[in-house]
Amino acid sequence: MRGRFITLEGGEGSGKTTQAALLGKALAAAGMKVHVVRSPGGTAVAEKLRSILKTREPGEELTPETELLLFGACHSQMVETLLKPELEQGIHVISDRFFDSTKVYQGYARGIDLRMLDEINRFSCRGLKPDLTIVLDLDPELGVRRSSGRVDRAAFENDRFDSETIAFHTAVRNGFLQLAELEKDRIRVISAEDSVDKVAQAVRECVKHELGLELL
């Protein structure tokens, strides 16, 4: 059987990385083959692109177009070298972010034309879509407080996304909620305000219900 492709999405500090790892453990505990990855990243080349995308380069700003095309490049690498072969081998893949982040960050938040983003996502992902996407929804003020508390001040300010304005993070939150409205069959929203354990339980229930996977 082909593996299922599950993505976790949401703003900064919404707990995607923790929840992706916990969901991975739950699938593994139920005897399934599972790989937890992140975007941007997941392959050696995409991890190199990640550091260009995440970190400020003194004296040179990335243009929004460069940013978009680098995310597209990351997704293309991930689809061909990781996702397609693993899903075909029956491995379930959980990704901490994927192409919905492109639509939301580069589109709803940076203002690039949404239809063009659909085209670029289709092109870079060869039409591959997640079987299920879970948006972890959180008040951006709380999310930014959580993520700024995780790293030192310099690392936070050097991160091109974490250090964006609250208006930007609010546009990101609203973008994910709009996408969820537009793609009700694929995207589910779960509140990330509860404790880690409660959110993890809600994520497991959602995966069981939507994909019919037998989890404990």
Strands 132-137 and 187-191: parallel
- Determine if 39 is a binding residue for ligand TMP (CB under 6 A): yes
Question: What tokens appear for 129 in the block?
Answer: 């879509």
CB of 214: closest distance to ligand TMP in angstroms? 29
From candidates 101, 124, 133, 148, binder to ligand TMP by CB under 6 A: 101
- Determine if 14 is a binding residue for ligand TMP (CB under 6 A): no
Question: What tokens appear for 212 in the block?
Answer: 């019919």
Of 174 and 213, nearer to ligand TMP (C-beta) is 174
Question: What tokens appear for 65 in the block?
Answer: 């177009």
Question: What's the rounded Cα separation, in Å, for the pair 95 and 109?
Answer: 21
Q: Are 138 and 192 in contact (CB under 8 A)?
A: yes
Q: How many residues does the chain have?
A: 216
Of 14 and 86, nearer to ligand TMP (C-beta) is 14
The answer for residues whose C-beta is within 8 angstroms of residue 81's C-beta and 6 or more apart is 43
From candidates 4, 35, 92, 97, binder to ligand TMP by CB under 6 A: 97
Of 97 and 204, nearer to ligand TMP (C-beta) is 97
From candidates 7, 19, 77, 102, binder to ligand TMP by CB under 6 A: 102
- Determine if 156 is a binding residue for ligand TMP (CB under 6 A): no
- Determine if 105 is a binding residue for ligand TMP (CB under 6 A): yes
- Residues 43-82 within binding reach of ligand TMP (CB under 6 A): 54, 71
Q: The tokens 């404790």 sit on which residue?
A: 195
Question: What's the rounded Cα separation, in Å, for the pair 126 and 68?
Answer: 16
Residues that bind ligand TMP (CB under 6 A): 12, 38-40, 54, 71, 97, 101-102, 105-106, 161
